Every structure is written in C-alpha cells, then in structure tokens.
Amino acid sequence: MGKKFFISNDKNPKNVQIKKDIINHFIANGNDTIAELSKELDLSVPTVTKFIGELMDQGLICEYGKMQTTGGRYPNVYGLNPTSVYFVGVDMTRHHLNIALMDFKGDIVQSQMGIPFTYENTSEAFDALCNHIQNFIDQTGELKEKIYSINLNISGRVNPESGYSYSSFYFSEQPVTEILSTKLNFKVGIDNDTRAMAYGEYMKGVVEGEKQVIFVNISWGLGIGIIIDGKLYYGKSGFSGEFGHFPAFDNEILCHCGKKGCLETETAGVAIHRMILERINNGESSILTEKVKDLNHLTLTDIINATNMEDPLCIEIVEQVGYKLGKYIAGLINIFNPELVIIGGQVSETEGFIMLPIRSAVRKYSLSLVNKDTRIVSSKLKQKAGIIGACMIARSRLFEQ
C-alpha cells in the first residue's frame, strides 16, 4: 500500500533511531553540516558520518555543496533528497477541494486548487472525494510510485490517532482512515483542518522562530490551532481547538453542533452570511444585490469580495464581528501567553477590515503585561495554509506505525 519506507535493514533499534533522528533534524532545520548534526544529536562526528553515508546510499540524503566559512576547510552540507519520497495533502473546504503533492524537502511540486466540490456528510460526497484524490494521484505520472502517504484535512472533531472523524463521514464502525486507505491503496491519515493550517504557517508561513503560537481560523466556522514549544497540541483525543463552540452568547441561535449561543454563531463566516442576508432582506443596500443574481446562492466568497470592494454594509458587519471575536482572542492571549497569534481562514482575506477591530479589542480586553508578549499577524499562506499543512503533517508521520 503506497511506497514502503526503509531507513535501514539494520536490526539494531538504536541504529534505526539515529537515522530517524537525522532525518527529523533535516525536516525541522533544513540542510546542515555533519559537525552541527553531531552537536545537535550529541553523537561523535565519525558516527554521524557513517549514518549519513548509509542514508545517502539509500537515496534519502544528498550533498548540497560546501558551506562558506571564514577560514579553514569548507564543510560539506547535507540534506533530504527531494525526489526520494513524496506526500499528498488534501484540504477539504465547504465548496472546494485543494490537493497537492509535496517532495521530501517540503516543496509543493504539483497542485490543484479550487476543485469544485460540495461538502455534505453523505456517502455520495465521500465517493466524490475519493474520486478526486484518485484522479490527482493518477496525474502524478511516475512520481506515483514514490508517494508514501496521504493526509486529509477535515473540519470538526477528528482523532488522528484512531483514524475516526466524528463530524464528517462517520458512517460505520470502521475508522475513515481505513476506508480511505483501502479505496486509494495508500496509507491515509486525517487531521483537523485548522490544526493543519496552523502547522502549514509554522513550517512555511509567517512564523519566524516563535514556538508558542495560536492560529485562529475564521472561515465558515471558527477554530484554533495551538502550537506549544514548537509542537502541535492535540488534547487527549485530538479534539483541541474547538474555539467556535465556546459558550459565549445568550442569543438563542442554534449552532450546527446542536447547542445555542456558541461563539461562532456571532463571530464566524456563518454569522456574517446570516447578518448580511437579514440586513439586505430588511431593505438595506449593498453591491451584493447587483453582483449576486439569487441571494439564496450567496457565498462567503461573494461577501469577502464585496468587503474588499468597500461595500459599506459588508465592512460594517465584518468590523462588528472582528471586534466581538477580538474580545475572546484576548482571553486566549491571557490563558496561553503566546508569542504569535495568526489570523487566517477565508474571512482573514478582508485584511485590515477584520484585523484592525481584532487588534483594538485585544488591546482593550487582554492584560497589558501579557499582550505585550504577543504579535497579532495575518496569515502569509492564505488559502494555501491548509494544503501545505496537510502535506507537512503527512511527512511528519513518516515513522509512525
């Protein structure tokens, strides 16, 4: 099922572990010299040299020339061989699928963004998802033989360890990962979509060395990804980050989770969509009435575009939502004391219209000593955060059984 990944025929577990540590060092830090590897892994230079040689023989590591240093001999630089193994990431949103192929070094080599796909919790939608993934894999040509695994992002409550998704495609007693693996004939894992976005930003986005990070995903729903000491925080069953279901309002609005007054009922894309339709139906004007022929088919994308075209009604509602949300982000800052809060997801594409009120509310409601430690920034990867994170998570699980 997919490419097998042998790092050694050695039966000595210690030797296998050293090779894993070397590969994980390159994943986390990029190319490096044997001297630096030796220092980081607390191993002798001859030992590291031996294992680098074996990994090169297996095609997993390659030499990247010499490092320019002041004086003395220039040391050789080593790193992952990008063409030795590949990973597929699948990011499933409400109306689209994004699928990408990533090489061993972490660069996207093929991708399909915005594949039309309507998410529904039905077996028909699940079959359509599998067909789209299979079509993408078939188009990778000879690289298909080097694909090691696939990771699928799913919104809501998923347990990556057990392979169960409890918010989507929970049709049988069998874990969804097993069903996908059988259908696609590759090892398939799942993770929460917001957590994947957080990891994408951490590995390839706006993070610049920070280790304590909160990623806030404002899309149709609302979630957070939490990174503590440079590692994704999962909670006991993988359910961490359900920020949108914080009981926040006395509004009697029924959330899709079945409870009333959840935070996302007034601070997510679903709330913006509802409020704009209510205001237009009450007679208020908006460029949306000209741009969208049938408001029954109004999408969040339409609203984002209208906001960025400076539609007064859309701006007013986005700013209201931003300020309300900022109050609760202030609470997160007080609890976690993060170095960085990243605002991502589709609504973040309104840039200053959502960012300014969030920052204003954070200044007002968070403890000033605590918020001085925290930068609040917009996502760098934008709509690619989820797909890059999905690929990166697939690679991070390389050595899991």
pLDDT score at 67 = 75
pLDDT for the residue numbered 189: 97
Residue entry with tokens 């994408």: 200
Mean predicted confidence (pLDDT) in 323-349: 97
Comparing 122-126, 171-175, 373-377, the range with the smallest average pLDDT is 171-175
Share of the chain above pLDDT 90, in %: 83
Residue 197: pLDDT band (50, 70, 90) is very high
State the greatest distance between any 2 C-alpha atoms of the chain, in Å, as a whole number. 77
In CATH terms, 209-379 corresponds, of 3.40.50.1950, 3.30.420.40, 3.40.50.2020, 3.30.70.100, to 3.30.420.40
Distances in Å between the alpha carbon of 38 and those of 52, 119, 120, 218? Answer: 11, 48, 51, 43
Beta strands in 11-134 (DSSP E): 32-33, 61-66, 76-80, 86-92, 96-103, 108-116
The pLDDT of residue 2 is: 55
Distance of CA 149 to the CA centre of its chain: 17
Confidence check: pLDDT of 203 > 90: yes
Domains 86-198+386-396 and 209-379 share a fold: yes
| Whole-angstrom distance, CA of residue 225 vs CA of residue 193 | 9
Q: Beta strand pairing status for 158-159 and 96-103?
A: unpaired
Question: Do the Cβ atoms of 351 and 316 come closer than 8 Å?
Answer: no
| Residue 88's pLDDT band (cuts 50, 70, 90) | very high
Q: Can you give the residue ranges of every domain in the chain?
A: 13-80, 86-198+386-396, 209-379
Q: Which fold has domain 86-198+386-396?
A: Nucleotidyltransferase; domain 5 (3.30.420)
pLDDT tens for residues 14-52?
988 999 999 999 999 999 999 999 999 999 999 999 999
| pLDDT of 6 strictly over 80 | no
pLDDT at position 293 is 84
pLDDT at position 401, please? 59
pLDDT reported for residue 50: 95
pLDDT, tens digit (0-9, with 9 covering 90-100), for 346-389: 999 999 999 999 999 999 999 988 889 999 999 999 999 999 99
User: Domain 13-80: which CATH class?
Assistant: mainly alpha
Higher-pLDDT residue of 74 and 97 is: 97
0.85 exceeded by pTM: yes
The pLDDT value given to residue 3: 58
